[in-house]
Structure 1
Amino acid sequence: MTATNIDPDLAAVRATYDLVAADYADLLRDNLAGKPADRAMLHLFADLVLAGEFGPVGDIGCGPGRITPHLAGLGLDVFGVDLSPGMIEVARREHPHLRFEVGTMTDLQLETHSLAGALGWYSLIHLPDHLVPVALAEFRRVIRPGGYLMLAFQNGEQIRHIDSAYGHELSLNLYRRTVDDFLPWLTEAGFAVFSSTVVAAVSWEKEAQAYVIARALE
């Protein structure tokens, strides 16, 4: 799989994550251990997928692969895809027993209906509005009817711009959205929402976090 058709809006995102890949991985490597809500939602997603027809699951926008092995430990046949070659290099080095490929969620090089499920774990937060329906349509194309999509994102209504992170100077937009923002996009793409959860900001998270699980319709 190769990221052959990168939208111009995503070129800077790819360059930024290539730059910060190693430091990003070091900072967030054990992050999931302190996130009980994250683990609970991932467990629910895995249970739903495993209750259906068994098949591969794509961790789309996997970064350095920090969630992919967790899903594998929950019993899923999972692989990772990310826009950033630098992130994929880190993921392959740190998790050599799993498969990771360079690719873009707006043009997935995967067969139609080839997945039992897909995860978009904080990976749509850099997409401007006009690209979100494109990505969700691609998720629907590759997920077989009855399969599940899970999205996680910061719950909000603004665009946050950052110019430094992970020990680097950079320029990156973070699009905060609400569950209600995603509902019409998911419906249009051919999904039915199974559950939506918003977890209030707590000591280890400065912002509320949202999790949506949707089922691909026939």
Structure 2
Amino acid sequence: MSDMQVLRHAPIREQVANILRDAIVDQRLTPGQLLVERELCEMTSASRASVREALRQLQAEGLVESRNGRGTCVTVISPATALQVYQVRAPLEGLAARLFAENGSDEDRAAFREAVAELADETERGADAAALLKAKSRAYDVLFRGCGNPVLHQTVQTLQHRVTRLRALTLAQEGRAQRSVVEVGAIVAAVDARDGAAAQAAATAHVEEAARVMMAAVSDTPAAP
């Protein structure tokens, strides 16, 4: 439980939010679970005030929700909500890939290739979900930062925590991590060819396939109590 303890030199509220966010993403805190403030204080070694502030932040991000006087619970991602996230994500990531292919610097392209190669290596060695999520997040961070549109990058960041939860669900499905590497590899090839249309099509197809896998996974998630 040492990774669940706050570090005293950093802002406590932010640390608590990060700890709980990570626990939600990797499902140590499961969908629909009631979050008891006393237990969260013990888990993080933080004050009740800091825990409450962190929960308010996570509620704004859509990761937790208040249940009409019954307390705060981890948000259950319904199939409808998950599909809506991917409906927004597909055109945004497609546009980012197009802009990256057309405008990214040589350094950006090299960084993207390196990040995707790292993702492929992690996948091949059978890395755990946390390592795969970090590797994939690094690749997308290069893509969005290098696309040359800060507004697009900021817009995508508002979805990032929900996307990460959904990505964890899809990568947990049999064979999905391997197929995902192939799909992202198609984006790399289009980017290296400076083919904006092909990069957009590859990125959109990748999201659409992830959405298909996600719908099957989320449909099996237990309903909120």
More helix by share: 2
The answer to which structure, 1 or 2, has the higher relative contact order (CA under 8 A, 6+ apart) is 2
More strand by share: 1
